[in-house]
Amino acid sequence: MRQLIVRRLLQTVPLLFFVSVVCFFMIKLAPGDPVLSFVTPNMHAEDIERVRHNLGLDKPAYIQYFIWLKELLQGNFGYSLTNHQPVLDQILERLPATAGLMGSAIALAVLLAIPLGLLAGANRNRWVDKLINFISYIGISVPLFWLAILMIYLFAIKLHWLPSMGMRTIGVESTADVIKHGVLPCTVLAFGFLTSYVRYIRSSTIGQLKEEYVQIQYAFGASKTTVLFRHVMKHVLLPVITLLGMSMGDLVAGAIVTETVFSWPGIGSLGMTAVRGMDYPVIMGITLFSSLMLIIGNLAADILYSFVDPRIKLTR
Amino acid sequence: MTERLLSVEDLKVSFSTRDGENQAVRGVSFHIDAGETVGIVGESGSGKSVTAKAIMSLITPPGKITSRNVNFRGENLLNLSEKQWRKLRGNQIAMVFQDPMTSLNPVKKIGQQLTEVIRRHRGLNKEAALTEAANMLRQVGISQPEQRLQQYPHEFSGGMRQRVMIAMALSCQPELLIADEPTTALDATIQAQILDLFKELKGNSHTAVALITHDLGVVAQVCTRVIVMYGGLIMEEGTVEDIFYRPQHPYTKGLLRSIPKNGGKSKERLVPIEGSPPDLLDPPPGCPFMDRCPHAFARCAERPPVFELSAGHRSMCWLADGEVSVGVEGGTFA
Amino acid sequence: MNRSKWKNVGSELLGNGMGVAALILLLLFTLASVFAFLSGHDPNELNVMERLTPPGAGHWFGTDDFGRDYFARALYGGRVSLLVGFTAMIIATGIGVTVGVISGYFGGWLDNLLMRMLDVILSIPTFLILLLLSVFLKPSVGNIIVIIALLMWMHIARVIRAETMTLKEREFVLYAKASGQSAFGIILKHIMPGLIPVIIVGATNNIASAIMMESSLSFLGFGVQPPNATWGSMLNNAQGYIAQAPYLAVFPGLLILLTVLSFNILGDILRVGFEPKLIKR
């Protein structure tokens, strides 16, 4: 058990290393000289060189990389080119908004997907299944930003039920207000996750129901409901852990479009602002941060999986 | 006369496929008496496993069961609702399956799986069910049952899993146990152990057993009566002595020639039956064995009736016509 | 690849109402975008007098905030969207198949290297790279195609690699190897034909995601630049007029949905059709 965790952790290290290399050289390749953001109009050429030297930018790229990496390991993701704030601080400041939105969207999606997926899988090719299947087809094919626009039109503009922009009403400091603002973006995101989860759960339910042990449960007098909820559900829930792990990467990046449409002040809209302003350190910080989340998410899912699935303990 | 436990009349099972109706079982009639052990023998595709599933009404669409009568302890099973069936399955009629590796739910503890069945049918509380489960494991020869109950299927060997399945099947003291090729997937030594277990259990319970197998050797060891199936029909039926010493049907004779004697040590050459079983999508109207039968003659194109050779020894073959004292023209196995 | 397999796919496709509908729809959209000039309106012609005219006889989809005919813009937008989707799919499939076959056929350190590379790329969230690259490269249709293609080849590469690995253990490949055929010849003659189903299914799904990526990118303003329209950029623009002219948002979104939906449905039907292992109905 411990061996498994250690081995998975060790596998993660080179992956992280390569991701950081890719990120670093993408910054290097980016157009524009980062020194220029420190330059004021009345500086001389020597001054500019001195700044360059002080920043370590005159050294060979690989040395720069290691300096950058060393800083990175100490939590220094660099400074924004536009407001000169530490990148990590900005990300962490925005994290709660994104994590809250994503967390509730994923939770909502999972809670709905499990019964829907089981229902569809258990009633394969009946009308319930066909309906759920059709909705999930729509779900994987609909542009989420379009869905967002339509929902804004319906619920904010026509019905005036919900706010369409931001996270708070100015001057109001209440959780209820934040929740109210979160309903639309959360629903849109949840729909996006939901459909892929449902498809996954449906097909694994169908697969499990074909297993011999299920047939045998019937031979021992189990009802369909018993089989579905006592036997199949546990099997089906296991892969959901993996799905959740994979969703961790989306936690940061996947919300870009939705956060933009709803002006949600999270990491996604920070990223958009950075991209618009060509603020490379921020973009890189976010990229690195989300890759980290993705890798950690997968790792955590693997480890959690091995705790939950009895078969893995001994076979590895 | 012993009590009649199960009687089946003219049971037919078919599966609709893209290419037509696959008539897996084409009208079989037989009975099982209380406490006896009956072997149902045949090659794969003969319809023996489908028959077993049909008795428990476990045929799901696109499969379809029709039968004139399936009678269990005087009750017609054909009229049971799904709810009544659930009370019966695993309780009065239990089943052991071929592959113990896939029979148990891999993510649930053995104890959970056993107690689930015990609690469902016997209404015991959790502790009592667990004690009962441990007793059952001990009965089927699993040591340290309390610890074993806390383990998962993958921690058991194939033979041990089959023991668990047998324990599960016997846990509600069923009146009929259907064992569908219970030893086929196991190693030879484990096979012998499981058969010994069957024999032993036979001695201390009144459960009737329908042992489905392709292996006549297994039948000889544990059964009192044998039903030989082929092409979805019963070819011959009789006591073990009838079948092994006085086989009438050419198919039965062929089967007997193809089993190794003395545990395969003798130098005698085995004679496999030439040819392949009939296509059940379009079964021949006459004797299904006709194409492979060395004694086939013109009349075999017509479905033979069942001839009673002696009390309880019946055969569906025109050759039996001459040997018979009383020909039951158009009669069926019952 | 034998004939019955193709026949199976054909009957699967034509026997499925959704499949036929998807095919017809895609054919219609393709024809409409090819013959967009027949719409009778210049998609970039401004007409301030007819600003934000609701859909009607003169302008089927109404007009936008510059008074441009929205139907013509939707047709020309579809041309770009479909072009990007199709071309990006071709490039992505090309890269994916090459990497997958090499990795799967040769194995060893090469396979290891390529697969680790894939792991790295896959552990950076896709949409983020998409944004990044579109910032580094100047936005143009050509660049967008390349960027999207660069982000889509990984999945198909994985599938192709797995498939190649099973194919190369087959007797006919082993025989070809024993008879001294070159690796290239074996791949071309014996491996590739077996990969065709996987490629077709992967390619169909890839078009769907390419169109989706392009529209998201254009929606955020990093895709195809004005005055050229794509469905995504039209939606971006529509967002500002959602209260006055909701139809501006409805049409392009619906077109994206229907196109992507059709490709997804086709992809699934093809997958089922090529795999007799999957039990149908």
**A78 part of a folded domain:** no
Between A91 and C224, the more confident residue is A91
Q: Does residue B38 register a pLDDT over 60?
A: yes
**Could A213 and B86 be called an inter-chain contact, meaning their C-beta atoms sit closer than 8 Å?**
no
Interval B151-173 mean pLDDT = 84
Looking at residue C49, what is its pLDDT?
67
Residues A163 and A302 in one domain: yes
**Could A271 and C281 be called an inter-chain contact, meaning their C-beta atoms sit closer than 8 Å?**
no
**CB-based contact B69:B78 (threshold 8 Å):** yes
Q: pTM of this prediction? A: 0.76
Query: In the 8-state DSSP scheme, what is residue A171?
Result: T
- Name the pLDDT band for C193 (thresholds 50, 70, 90): confident
- Name the pLDDT band for A315 (thresholds 50, 70, 90): very low
Question: What amino acid occupies position B244?
Answer: F
According to the 3-state scheme, what is the secondary structure of chain C?
CCHHHHHHHHHHHHCCHHHHHHHHHHHHHHHHHHCHHHHCCCCCCCCHHHCCCCCCCCCCCCECCCCCEHHHHHHHHHHHHHHHHHHHHHHHHHHHHHHHHHHHHHCHHHHHHHHHHHHHHHCCCHHHHHHHHHHHCCCCHHHHHHHHHHHHHHHHHHHHHHHHHHHCCCHHHHHHHHCCCCHHHHHHHHHHHHHHHHHHHHHHHHHHHHHHHHHHHHHCCCCCCCCCCCHHHHHHHHHCCCCCCCHHHHHHHHHHHHHHHHHHHHHHHHHHHHCCCCCCC
Q: Does residue C77 register a pLDDT over 70?
A: yes
- Looking at the complex, report in whole angstroms how far the Cα of residue A189 sits from the nearest Cα belonging to chain C: 15
User: Residue B271 burial (CB < 10 Å; 0-12/13-18/19+)?
Assistant: exposed
Question: What amino acid occupies position A285?
Answer: G
Residues 6+ apart with CB under 8 A from C150: C92, C95, C133
Looking at residue B60, what is its pLDDT?
78
Between C69 and B10, the more confident residue is B10
Nearest CA in chain A to C257: A142
Least confident of A292-301, B47-56, C126-135: C126-135
- Name the pLDDT band for A207 (thresholds 50, 70, 90): confident
Residue B267 Cα distances to B136, B215, B261, B270, angstroms: 43, 20, 9, 9
Tell me which of A209, A210, A213, A230 to substitute to probe the interface with B (most B C-beta atoms closer than 10 Å). Answer: A213
Nearest CA in chain B to A234: B107
Q: Does residue C91 register a pLDDT over 90?
A: yes
Q: Is B168 on the interface with A (CB under 8 A)?
A: yes
Residues A250 and A126 in one domain: yes
B221-243: b or e for each residue (b if 16 or more CB lie within 10 Å)? bbbbbbbbbbbbbbbbbbbbebb
Q: Terminus-to-terminus CA distance in chain A, angstroms? A: 8
Across the interface, of B99, B107, B120, the residue whose CB is closest to A221 is: B120
pLDDT-above-90 percentage for chain C: 4
- Name the pLDDT band for C279 (thresholds 50, 70, 90): very low
The CATH number that applies at residue A108 is: 1.10.3720.10
Q: Is A36 on the interface with B (CB under 8 A)?
A: no
**A39 part of a folded domain:** yes
- Name the pLDDT band for C276 (thresholds 50, 70, 90): low
Q: Is B154 on the interface with A (CB under 8 A)?
A: yes
Boundary residue ending a domain (A27, A42, A73): A73
- Name the pLDDT band for B65 (thresholds 50, 70, 90): confident
Residues A58 and A111 in one domain: no
- Name the pLDDT band for C123 (thresholds 50, 70, 90): confident
Q: How far is CA C128 from the centre of its chain?
A: 19
Nearest CA in chain A to C208: A141
Domain encompassing residue A288 = 88-315
- Looking at the complex, report in whole angstroms how far the Cα of residue A244 sits from the nearest Cα belonging to chain C: 15
Residues A61 and A115 in one domain: no
Measured between beta carbons, the chain A residues lying within 8 angstroms of B84 are: none
Q: How many CB atoms lie within 10 A of CB A229?
A: 14
According to the 3-state scheme, what is the secondary structure of A3-52?
HHHHHHHHHHHHHHHHHHHHHHHHHHHCCCCHHHHHCCCCCCHHHHHHHH
Tell me whether the omega of the peptide bond preceding residue C227 falls within 30 degrees of 0, making it cis. yes
**Could B155 and A314 be called an inter-chain contact, meaning their C-beta atoms sit closer than 8 Å?**
yes
Question: What amino acid occupies position B92?
Answer: Q
Q: Is B167 on the interface with A (CB under 8 A)?
A: no
Boundary residue ending a domain (A44, A73, A102): A73
Looking at residue C213, what is its pLDDT?
86
A140-165: b or e for each residue (b if 16 or more CB lie within 10 Å)? bbbbbbbbbbbbbbebbeeeeebbbe
Question: What amino acid occupies position B136?
Answer: M
* Residue B176, helix vs strand vs coil: strand
Residues A49 and A175 in one domain: no
Residue among A141, A195, A148 nearest C235 (CA) = A148
Residues A237 and A274 in one domain: yes
Q: What pLDDT, in 10s, does the model give residues B219-235?
A: 888 888 999 888 888 88
Residues A125 and A63 in one domain: no
Token pair for residue C116?
A: 């680790």
Number of domains in chain A: 2
Q: What pLDDT, in 10s, does the model give residues C143-169?
A: 888 888 888 888 888 888 888 888 888
Residues A100 and A7 in one domain: no
- Looking at the complex, report in whole angstroms how far the Cα of residue A293 sits from the nearest Cα belonging to chain B: 29
Residues A242 and A149 in one domain: yes
Across the interface, of A19, A138, A157, the residue whose CB is closest to C123 is: A19
Q: Is A213 on the interface with B (CB under 8 A)?
A: yes
Q: Does residue A217 register a pLDDT over 80?
A: yes
Measured between beta carbons, the chain C residues lying within 8 angstroms of A149 are: 235, 238-239, 242, 249, 253
Q: Terminus-to-terminus CA distance in chain C, angstroms? A: 24
Nearest CA in chain C to A19: C120
Measured between beta carbons, the chain A residues lying within 8 angstroms of C235 are: 143, 145-146, 149
Nearest CA in chain C to A145: C216
Interval A113-137 mean pLDDT = 87
Q: What pLDDT, in 10s, does the model give residues B296-334?
A: 787 888 888 888 888 888 888 888 776 544 444 444 454
**CB-based contact B111:B149 (threshold 8 Å):** yes
Nearest CA in chain B to A215: B58
Q: Is B57 on the interface with A (CB under 8 A)?
A: no
Q: At CB < 8 Å, which residues of chain C contact A?
A: 116, 119-121, 123-129, 131-132, 135-136, 208, 212, 215-216, 219-220, 222, 232, 235, 238-239, 242-243, 246, 249-250, 252-253, 256-257, 260-261, 264-265, 281
Interval B29-52 mean pLDDT = 85
Residues A29 and A108 in one domain: no
Q: Does residue A314 register a pLDDT over 70?
A: no
* Residue B46, helix vs strand vs coil: coil
Residue in the structure block whose two tokens are 């689930």: B116
Among A160-174, B57-71, B214-228, which range has the highest average pLDDT? B214-228
| Cβ–Cβ pairs < 8 A, chains A and B | 71
Q: Does residue C61 register a pLDDT over 70?
A: no
Looking at residue B90, what is its pLDDT?
80
Between A18 and C44, the more confident residue is A18
Q: Tell me which CATH homologous superfamily contains domain B4-92+174-333.
A: P-loop containing nucleotide triphosphate hydrolases (3.40.50.300)
**Cα R_g (chain B), whole angstroms:** 21
**A153 part of a folded domain:** yes
- Chains touching chain B through at least 3 C-beta pairs below 8 angstroms are A
- Looking at the complex, report in whole angstroms how far the Cα of residue A243 sits from the nearest Cα belonging to chain C: 15
Element (H, E) at A120: helix A87-122
Q: At CB < 8 Å, which residues of chain A contact C?
A: 14-15, 18-19, 22-23, 26, 29-31, 125, 137-138, 140-143, 145-146, 149-150, 152-153, 157, 249-250, 252-254, 256-257, 260-261, 271-272, 275, 278, 283, 286-287, 290-291, 294-295, 298
Q: What angle do CA A256, A261, A263 make, to 5 degrees?
A: 85
Residues A194 and A97 in one domain: yes
Residues A170 and A124 in one domain: yes
Q: Does residue B56 register a pLDDT over 80?
A: yes
Residue A43 Cα distances to A40, A52, A69, B225, angstroms: 6, 13, 30, 107
Domains and CATH numbers, chain C: 1-35+73-274 (1.10.3720.10)
**A81 part of a folded domain:** no
Boundary residue ending a domain (A12, A38, A73): A73
- Looking at the complex, report in whole angstroms how far the Cα of residue B178 sits from the nearest Cα belonging to chain A: 10
Residue B251 Cα distances to A262, B258, B261, B306, angstroms: 77, 11, 18, 15
**CB-based contact B80:B57 (threshold 8 Å):** yes
